[in-house]
Amino acid sequence: MTTTGVRADARIVARADGRGGTALPVLDGEGPLALRRIRSSGAETRVMVVGAMSGPLGGDRFALTARVERGARLHVGSAAATLALPGQAHGEARYDVRLDVADDAELHWLPEQLISAHGSDLYVTTRAELAAGARLVLREEQVLGRAGEEPGRLTSRLTVRVAGRTVLDQELSYGPGAPGGWDGPAVLAGCRAVGQLVVVRPEFADHPAEARVLGECAALIPLAGPAVLVSAVAPDALQLRRLLDESLAGLTRTAP
Amino acid sequence: MHLDHTHDGPTAVSADAHRRDGSRRALRIGLGGPVGSGKTATVAALCRALRDELSLAVVTNDIYTREDAEFLLREAVLPPERITAVETGACPHTAIRDDISANLEAVEDLEDAVGPLDLILVESGGDNLTATFSKGLVDAQIFVIDVAGGDDIPRKGGPGVTTADLLVVNKTDLAPYVGSDLARMAADARTQRAGLPVVFQSLRGETGVADVAAWLRERLVAWSA
Amino acid sequence: MSRAALLVLADGRFPAGGHAHSGGAEAAVKAGRITSAAGLEDFCRGRLHTAGLVAGALAAAAVLGVDPRQLDAAADARTPSPALRSAARRLGRQLLRAARAAWPSPELDALGVQFPKGAHQPVVLGVAARSAGLAPEDAAYCAAYESVSGPATATVRLLSLDPFDATGVLARLAPELDRVADRAVAAARRALDEGVDALPAASGPLLEVAAEWHAAWPVRLFAS
């Protein structure tokens, strides 16, 4: 029986190739964080996280960094949902994502859901650092337990900084051992899927989006900075995704 | 009646007679009284009677936050930027007496936004006979009852009836229909109020709100003196 | 200074505007998520460990002397809902008025000048506690308690809940209030060295979302 889990690191650097496209001078990841370049469309280059095994398990340490340099456009997705599972190694698993987006660069960070399986214990942090002229679309979805399963312990901290100023700092914590009330009417009210969609655009500084209520369990809200957050709680992953997709489509339609 | 503090820098004294820039602030008059006695109708009539001669604004404190404000807006008695609704958490009397902080914010914001103002009417949400305004919020208060609420209300007294600077007995036109004895109400009010003024009014009558408006003009003269 | 100042500051009758705010309880009641004392307890427990913890840490950090501007920006980042940010600033301004009458101090005056539209309420609460000579623990307790006492009082009015049951809920939450206040103060001390990123950012998604829903109602009893 091992006492330490797996370490996995992945790095992406996206750079304008000078011909209107985006090159990937660094695309470095293996094992659970294996990366693959897939078709590109126009200026945007696409990367898929194709985790070769499920994880993270207890004790694992995953880290993924992506840097999008001036003028580059990067889209990152994942081939499948990330499944947090209990491992042989005891203790919390960690998954740290660091995203850096330069002026005049754009990142779409749209991974599949993070599923917290029964008995797992995962602390995930996502930190996005944006220059004043950077653009970002970031989606995070947490699903508590596989179908009909009690969730594990999951804590997720999401920090978005624009031009050195924190516009969103939010930590969500669920499951057995989480601080009390996580399943109650102030937090989840029994729902099993939670999502955040963050859109940062320099134009929001002068033309902030209007707050919009999307039913009693979801809202589009302008943050204190050039960003909006769609925050949604839903009974399941499917309904959550539909809400977030519709919100993103609405934002894209009204793009200045 | 009002506390007339000198003003040394930004202070937190609520009844201060001056604004931050040192100018004299508006006279603040509270209107309270039971549900349905005609407070909002009186406020609307006062706005129509005084808006051409004075710079006016209104703060409402309703149970359902915006109902009274929306009535005044619908009636278009003042431009919308001169009407503010204070949300009272189901307790309008708390907002005018025990914790006046939200109302003070509202009257100060109105003076900052549309001032200078001569007069701000602060209307309480319909409450009970014990609801009175804090002297930290208003300089004088009007208590509005009506003849249909029972002609024994002046006799029963209570803080509003006995201590308000002006007692208004409203809807006198209804007295014959509800069997209220106006003479008895007047006599009881005199006994309870130790010389404080009482106005009998019917907003449907010819004089309408004229007596209350005249009383307000007197207060304003005293305030600006 | 006197520890008893905490009783004045934490008194539900302290005239700082809290009575008109339900802390999200009005929306939760309307959505059918609070229907009883048990539902109120679940709601309060969730609010305590999220908004209550964050407010406690902000208030404690303000007592320790962390720059109110940084704390206010940290509060903004931890409060996505514009309706909640606006309510927090209005309550901050109302609290500042009451605190300046109770414990006049140059720091409270400066806060009024820095934030003419109001700073986030927990930041003002911390500076008020500091002006009253209170400790970071006191401010953290006060903020954490307010995070549950407001919804409890509001629910008594909204559901005509038995006030003894509501008070029982608050009493049962007391041990958790202790733990939240401890965590808040520990985080505030870290923030002194590491900056405001060290402050907790616990969030209740439904609190934020429902606050926007509530703000859009044409008719409501509570301001938030």
DSSP string, C87-124: HHHHHHHHHHHHHHHHS--HHHHHHHHH-TT---HHHH
Interchain proximity A222–C212, CB inside 8 Å: no
Span B74-89, mean pLDDT? Answer: 89
pLDDT value of residue A23: 95
Residues constituting chain A: 256
pLDDT value of residue C219: 85
ipTM of the complex: 0.95
Q: Is the pLDDT of residue B132 over 50?
A: yes
Instruction: Residue B172: give the domain boundaries.
Output: 27-224
Q: Any idea which residue has 């505007």 for tokens?
A: C17
Whole-angstrom distance, CA of residue A209 vs CA of residue A203? 10
What is the residue-averaged pLDDT of chain B?
Answer: 87
Give the percent of chain C with pLDDT over 70: 100
Closest Cα in chain C, distance from residue B167 (Å):
28
pLDDT digit string, tens, across residues C183-204: 999 999 999 999 999 999 999 9
Identify whether B158 is part of a domain: yes
A22, A50 contact by CB (below 8 A): no
A67, A27 contact by CB (below 8 A): no
Interchain proximity A213–C33, CB inside 8 Å: no
Q: Higher confidence at residue A202 or residue C218?
A: A202
Q: Is the pLDDT of residue C164 over 60?
A: yes
Taking the Cβ of residue A157 and every Cβ of chain C, the question of whether any pair is shorter than 8 Å is answered with yes
Closest listed residue to residue C215, CA positions, set C81, C122, C121, C90:
C81
Q: How confident is the model at residue B3 (pLDDT cuts 50, 70, 90)?
A: very low
Identify whether B21 is part of a domain: no
pLDDT digit string, tens, across residues B7-58: 343 444 456 777 777 788 999 999 999 988 999 999 999 999 999 999 999 9
Query: DSSP H helical segments within chain C, as ranges?
Result: 5-10, 25-30, 37-47, 53-64, 68-77, 82-102, 106-114, 121-131, 136-159, 163-172, 174-194, 205-215
Residue B28, classed as helix, strand or coil, is strand
Could you tell me how far CA C70 lies from the centroid of its own chain?
A: 18
pLDDT value of residue A252: 75
Cα dist. A216→A176, A189, A210, A252, C101 in Å?
Answer: 26, 12, 17, 23, 40
pLDDT digit string, tens, across residues A22-48: 999 999 998 889 999 997 878 899 999
Indicate the number of domains in chain B: 1
Contacts of A253 (CB under 8 A, 6+ apart): none
Query: CB-CB: which of C13, C109, C157 is closest to B98?
Result: C13
Identify whether B14 is part of a domain: no
In chain C, what are the domain boundaries?
A: 27-86+132-213
In chain A, what are the domain boundaries?
A: 7-190
Q: Is the peptide bond preceding residue A25 cis, with omega within 30 degrees of 0?
A: no
Closest Cα in chain C, distance from residue B223 (Å):
25
Residues of chain A scoring pLDDT < 70: 1-3, 52-54, 253-256
| Residues of chain C in Cβ contact (below 8 Å) with chain A | 24, 27-28, 31, 33-34, 39, 42-51, 53, 73-74, 76-78, 80-83, 85, 176, 197, 200-210, 212-213, 215-216
Interface test with B, best of C108, C114, C222 (most B CBs within 10 A): C222
pLDDT digit string, tens, across residues B141-161: 999 999 988 888 998 888 899
pLDDT value of residue C97: 96
Span B112-119, mean pLDDT? Answer: 93
Whole-angstrom distance, CA of residue B141 vs CA of residue B205? 23
Closest Cα in chain C, distance from residue A151 (Å):
17
Other C-beta atoms within 10 Å of A48: how many? 17
Q: How confident is the model at residue C94 (pLDDT cuts 50, 70, 90)?
A: very high
Q: Is the pLDDT of residue C165 over 80?
A: yes
pLDDT value of residue B1: 37
**Burial degree of B223 (CB within 10 A; 0-12, 13-18, 19+):** buried
A189, A181 contact by CB (below 8 A): no
**Burial degree of A106 (CB within 10 A; 0-12, 13-18, 19+):** buried
Q: What CATH number corresponds to the domain at position B34?
A: 3.40.50.300
Residue B87, classed as helix, strand or coil, is coil
Token representation of residue B65: 């936050």
